[in-house]
Amino acid sequence: MAGDSTRSVHEAEPYDEETGSITTPIYETSTFGFTKAEEVPRAVAGGGGYVYSRWDNPTVVRLERKLAALEQGGDGAAFSSGMAAISTSIFAFLKKGAHILGIRDLYGGTYALLHDILPTLGFSTDLVETSDFGALERKVKGNTSMVYIESPTNPTLKLVDIAKAAKLAHANDAILLVDNTFASPINQNPMGLGADIVLHSMTKYINGHADLIAGAAVAGKDRAHTIKMMRRDFGGTLDPIPAWLILRGMKTMALRVRQQNVTAMALAEFLSTHKRVAAVNYPGLKTHPQYQLAKKQMKGFGGMLSFEVKGTTRDAMKFTESLKVASLAASLGGVGTLVSQPYNITHTQMSAKERAETGIPETLIRVSAGIEDEEDLVSDFRQALAAV
């Protein structure tokens, strides 16, 4: 099997048959014509061919196939946002009265979906302490139909043993969904560890340039087809222009992510010895409580870390305002380093009590390491901490 960089460049992108173009064309069309009427029913049923770009589009399909290959899946489904991918994939497999089991450390939008929205629709959910696998085992019920996890988690960088979670789900006839956004396909492949559906905000590492919004789900061919059919009705389909931009971004994904791994490690090591830092969360540090698990299930430790500033909420704000190379902004995974305080931007859906229980104090800073020279970033963080 070819390596990640080779597949990121070449997978699912043959030369254009008509022109020989080595890049995928943008099929910016809403609908597709037929020369034979008998071909229509098969295309409508999803058996091949194109009908309408809300259903399928050749540019988008190339992207879906490339990502599926990198994630060791049968096929993918691309969406207009990560939350569209998450919500559509969940609803595609929910049955009346189902129970959903998940972890507490989740992206704010996902937390709101599982904790607040699904219970109002007649589904029951349990979100347990992420680092306590026994809590997951104890909360399994007879009607548990899916287990939902992130690993590493946002923004606490906790890990879940994906292989164990898959065995737990399958032993109870449930499916395992894994949000792999923080790791990216370059650092981790959950389907190789037993996951049934892998989810991404392609806004982040897959595109990598902070210039569009997109999401994706990868699964075996049958489950991916089910998700795509649900996508037709929910309508969160990705447009071909951002799909083309993501295909372009993916060609350098392995190079970007590997540099971001290096940059994040340099920042984590620097911060772990700084007198103004109370704690650092990064799975690549040997002091991380799940360092051995990270070595076991990840190919790289990732470009995300978080740390607590010693002092007050205002001290943490002063740090973010004092940075000159890194930027204070939402999102992650781009070529530029970004910092944020999760309590007031990414996890506002949680109450203060819920954030405290999850390990998200107001002094926590989330860092998305970019591809800048690590010496410049360490220097920037040093001067910003001195300003606190």
Radius of gyration of the chain (CA): 21
Quote the CA–CA distance of 336 and 329 in Å, as a whole number: 10
Active site residues: 54, 107, 179, 204
CA 171 to chain centre: 26
Q: What are the angstrom distances between the C-alpha of 211 and each of 17, 120, 243?
A: 30, 35, 12
What letters, b where the CB count within 10 A reaches 16 and e where it falls short, cover 336-361? ebbbbbbbeebbebbeeeebeebbbb
What letters, b where the CB count within 10 A reaches 16 and e where it falls short, cover 75-88? bbbbbbbbbbbbbb
Tell me how far apart the terminal alpha carbons of the chain are, to the nearest angstrom.
Answer: 50
Quote the CA–CA distance of 191 and 175 in Å, as a whole number: 12
Alpha-helix runs per DSSP H in 125-274: 133-139, 162-171, 184-187, 221-234, 240-250, 253-271
Count the neighbouring beta carbons within 10 Å of the beta carbon of residue 271: 26
Q: In this structure, what are the phi and psi dihedrals at residue 15, rounded to the nearest 5 degrees?
A: -60, 145
**What three-state secondary structure class fits 61?**
helix
Quote the CA–CA distance of 49 and 41 in Å, as a whole number: 10
